[in-house]
Amino acid sequence: MDYNNRKGDEKMKFLFLSDLHLGSPLFVSKSKILELLNGDYDRIFILGDLLDIWEEKLEDILSDNIEIINKLRTLTNVVIIKGNHDPAIIRLESVFPKKNICYSFNFNIGDKRCLLAHGDEFDSLIRHYSWLAKIFWPIGWAFERIGINLKGFFRTLFYSISAKIQKKYYNDLVLDIEKNMVEKYENDYDYIIVGHTHLPKINKENGFTYINCGDWVHNKSYVEFVDSEFKLTEL
């Protein structure tokens, strides 16, 4: 499927989802996801961490979420980007045959250039200290099962401290991951749309737009492109 440079994209309707984490016990939104997948969208983009093999075996994820899996298999307008919790691309391709599955994706919306990625490539913890993340991951996993979002707590704390000392341009981009994305791509693209951080937001500055779709284990958020505008919805 080639979506690039297609005329009239600015008049189309797109859906952007990220970080469903199918397999996590915190994902409890099957009916809403199916409703969205059944929506009247010209294109649907899933920006990583669709299947969480850190939480559950792939076979169990597929059987427990068969309605969503089958719906994605039948859709012809879907692009799936691999996230760090997803299985290898070759396994994703076996689960979703004939789908456009990739590490990143770019296309034009009218005369605007748009890049889609998961965002983990900018996460220094994942890239350089994955062994440390795997040590602390079970602690966060245990807290989540008693209803405490430990990662969210520390992200919020970091945000509140950093927002006071950052320059205005980065007041809403306090995470190094986000700043690195903007610095790398703002001269080559008009929009970058990602997930990974579980922090839903749309930030516009100097003609560049940073969009994070959020997630479906903490925020239950998604982004739509409707009437030539991006819209963030948090349930």
| pLDDT value of position 167 | 44
Q: What CATH number does residue 142 fall under? A: 3.60.21.10
Contact status, residue 216 vs residue 48, Cβ threshold 8 Å: no
**Residue of 198, 153, 146 lying closest to 25 (CA atoms):** 146
pTM of the model as a whole? 0.81
| In contact, 19 and 80? CB cutoff 8 Å | no
> How many domains is the chain partitioned into structurally?
1
Query: Across the 235 residues of the chain, what is the mean pLDDT of every consecutive 10-residue run?
Result: 54 96 92 98 97 92 98 97 95 96 95 94 60 59 65 53 46 66 92 92 90 93 96 97
Q: Is residue 2 part of a domain?
A: no
Structural domain for 173, as ranges: 12-234
pLDDT of residue 26: 84
Query: What sign has the CA pseudo-torsion 156, 157, 160, 164?
Result: negative
Asked whether residue 6 is domain-assigned, the answer is no
pLDDT of residue 122: 80
Whether residue 173 is contained in a domain is answered as yes
CA atoms within 13 A on the CB side of 25: 9
pLDDT of res. 177: 79
pLDDT recorded at residue 159? 47
Helices of type H across the chain? 30-37, 58-64, 66-74, 89-95, 124-128, 130-144, 150-162, 176-185
For residues 84 and 50, the answer to whether their CB atoms sit within 8 Å is: no
